[in-house]
Amino acid sequence: MIVRRALASLPAVACLGIAALLAGCGAQSDGTVEVAVIGNEAEVFADGVRLSPGGQLARSAVDSGLVAFDAAGEVVPALAERWIVTDDGLSFIFRLREGTWPDGSEITAVTAREALESAMRDLDGTSLGRDLSAVAEVRAMAGRVIEIRLAHPEPYLLQLLAQPELALRPQGDDSESGGTGPMTLAREENGVARYAYKPPSARGLPFDEDWQDGVQDLDLRVTDARQAIAMFDQGAVDVVLGGTLGDLPLVETGPLSSGTLRIDSTFGLFGMLVRRDAGLLANTGVREGLAMAIDRAEVIEQFNIGGWTATTRPVSPGLPGDPGLVAERWEGQIIADRRAEAAARVAAWRRQFDPGDLTQPARLTLYLDEGPGWDLLLANLAGQLRIVGVDLVRAPSRDEADMVLIDRVARFPAPRWFLGQFACPLRVGLCSETVDTMVADAVTQPDPVIRASLMAQAEAELTLANVFIPIGSPLRWSLVRGRVGGFTPNPYAFHPLPPLAEIAR
C-alpha cells in the first residue's frame, strides 16, 4: 500500500512524527471530520491578500465576501443574500443580509462598501487586482444595499467577488479566530485548527432548533504530502486537500484508490514561462522550437491519469463560449519532424552566436518545486529537449532560472484571466505590451462576439511571442472517504471547509 512505501522512504524521526499525529487524532473519534491540507502553517494561516490555496480555504471558512463558492464551485449568497444585474451588465446591486461585524457593530451598506474598497486596494499590483479593473465605483445605497458600477461589462464579476481574498473585514481586523464567515476557529496546542459552525442567526439564516444535528466540527491539520497520505491510509484523517502533480506519485492511482482519489478537471496554466530574453532564449524562433519539440502526450502518459488535457495553447481549450477561432499548434505534424526543425533552429543559433564546443548541448535552467512528481516531469522534459540539442537542468532558485514552471488554476474560465497572467506590469517573465493593449481593447467591448474575436487575436499574438511553453491543464487531487459529504470535484479545484462539515439529514 502507498503508506508502506511512503513510511519506508521517510527517516525515523519523520516516522515518529507521523506516529505522534496518528496517536493524537482519530477520524470520527469525537464527531468531527478530520482534514489534512498539504502545505505549511505559515502560508495556510497567513494574513494579507496573497494567499496560498490552503490559505484560501482557511480564510473562506472564517471570513465571507458578498458571495462565496459552494462545494461545486458555483457562486452562492454570503454577506449578500441576493442581487440583481442590470440589463447592460454595468451595475450589480446587492442586498446585504442582517448581521454584525466581529466587534458587534451592524453590517451596513456604508461599512460593507468601506471593507470592499479596502480589500480591493490591498490587491493593487496583483493579477487579481488587475482582474477587478472593470470596477468603476462602489456605492452605498439605502440601508443594506450596495451597488458596484462597472466601466465595462465583466461577465465573471461574481466569480471574482467570491475569491477568498475579497472577504470583507472591517478596518484593523486581523483576527483569524472568527469574522464574517460561517465558522469560528480555535487553534489547539497540538497543531490542530478546530473549525465550528456558527448558529444560524449568526449566519443570516432562519432559526432552526435542530441545526446542530446537521453539522459537525472540523479539525484541520497542515502537513506535507507524505504525512497527509500516511494519515489518510491509517484512518486518522477523512480528507486530504491540496494535492498537485508534484506529490501525485506518492498516491496509489490503481484500482485500490477507486472512490477515494478525486481528480479535479481544471482550467489554468501549466507550462514553462520564459524569464530571460538572453542567450538561446532571446530568439523567438528558438523558443518556438523548444515548444514544438515537446511531446505533451508523453509527458502526461507517464503519470497514468485519465482525463488530463494536453494543449499547445496559452489559453485552456474548451472554455465556456470558446468560439473556436484558435487551433492547437502543429496539428498533423509528426513529432520527429517537429524535433528535426527545432534541432536545426537551435544549431543555427549556436553557430552564429555561441560557436564554442558545438558537440555539447546548450544549457537551460528551469525552476520548479521539489517533489517526486516534479522530478519525473523535469526528467521527461530534459530527455525530450536533449534530442534537439538542449540540456535542461533544475535552477537553484527562481531568480537564477531561465524558465519557471507555472502551475496555476484559473480563477474564472475566460481568456482574459489567462492572458492577464502575462501582463507586463506583473513582471513575472517575458511579456508583450502589444498583447496587453489588445486585451485592454477587448475587455471594453460590450458585444460578446466582438470581445471573443479580439481575445482570440490577442491569444494568437501571445502565442507568436513564444514567452510561454504550454503543456496542459493544472492537475489537482484530493483523497476523500465515502462518509464525507460536501466534496465535489470542480474546475477551480476549490473545496471549501464548511460543506465538508455538513451532515446529510
SS3 of 127, please?
helix
Give the E-state strand segments of 104-228 in sequence order. 135-140, 145-150, 183-187, 193-197, 217-223
Which helix (DSSP H) or strand (DSSP E) does residue 475 occupy? strand 475-480
Tens of pLDDT, residue by residue over 27-49, are: 444 589 999 999 999 999 988 88
One of 3.40.190, 3.30.1360, 3.30.70, 3.30.43 is the CATH number of 1-63+181-260+478-505, namely 3.40.190
Q: What local confidence, expressed as pLDDT, does residue 425 receive?
A: 95
DSSP symbol at 309: P
Query: Where is average pLDDT lowest: 202-206, 270-274, 422-426?
Result: 202-206
Residue 227 has pLDDT above 90, yes or no: yes
- Say if residues 221 and 21 touch (Cβ distance below 8 Å): yes
CA distances to 44, 215, 250, 406 from 236, rounded to whole Å, are: 20, 20, 18, 33
Rounded to whole angstroms, the Cα distance separating 217 from 212 reads 10
SS3 of 459, please?
helix
SS3 of 269, please?
strand
Contacts of 11 (CB under 8 A, 6+ apart): none
Tens of pLDDT, residue by residue over 173-201, are: 555 556 899 999 998 777 899 999 999 98
Tens of pLDDT, residue by residue over 60-74, are: 999 999 999 999 999
Residue 24 has pLDDT above 50, yes or no: no
Which helix (DSSP H) or strand (DSSP E) does residue 491 occupy? none
Q: What local confidence, expressed as pLDDT, does residue 224 receive?
A: 96
**How many Cβ atoms sit within 10 Å of the Cβ of residue 132?**
20
Q: Which fold has domain 268-473?
A: Dipeptide-binding Protein; domain 3 (3.10.105)
Model confidence at 79, in pLDDT bands (50, 70, 90)?
A: very high
Q: Which one, of 360, 397, 361, lies nearest residue 382 by Cα?
A: 361
DSSP symbol at 111: H
Cell numbers that stand for 401 in this block: 532560472
Model confidence at 256, in pLDDT bands (50, 70, 90)?
A: low
Q: Which one, of 163, 186, 62, 70, lies nearest residue 499 by Cα?
A: 70
Q: What local confidence, expressed as pLDDT, does residue 16 receive?
A: 36
| Same-fold call for 1-63+181-260+478-505 versus 268-473 | no
Residue 358 has pLDDT above 80, yes or no: no
Which helix (DSSP H) or strand (DSSP E) does residue 394 occupy? strand 390-394
Q: Which CATH class is domain 64-175?
A: alpha beta
Cell numbers that stand for 347 in this block: 544549431
Q: What local confidence, expressed as pLDDT, does residue 442 receive?
A: 96
Tens of pLDDT, residue by residue over 306-320, are: 888 899 999 999 998
Mean per-residue pLDDT, 111-134: 95
SS3 of 85, please?
strand
Residue 154 has pLDDT above 50, yes or no: yes
The residue with greater pLDDT, 376 or 174, is: 376
Residue 12 has pLDDT above 80, yes or no: no
The residue with greater pLDDT, 169 or 189, is: 169
Residue 295 has pLDDT above 50, yes or no: yes
Rounded to whole angstroms, the Cα distance separating 225 from 54 reads 13
Cell numbers that stand for 440 in this block: 485592454
Q: What local confidence, expressed as pLDDT, does residue 47 receive?
A: 86
Partnered with residue 94 across adjacent β-strands are 83, 146
- Say if residues 24 and 227 touch (Cβ distance below 8 Å): no
Residue 92 has pLDDT above 70, yes or no: yes
Q: What local confidence, expressed as pLDDT, does residue 19 receive?
A: 41
Partnered with residue 77 across adjacent β-strands are 67
Domain extent listing, the chain: 1-63+181-260+478-505, 64-175, 268-473
- Say if residues 403 and 368 touch (Cβ distance below 8 Å): no
- Full-prediction pTM beyond 0.85? yes
SS3 of 366, please?
strand
Q: Which one, of 415, 499, 484, lies nearest residue 68 by Cα?
A: 499
284-293 vs 335-353: helix crossing angle, rounded to 10: 150
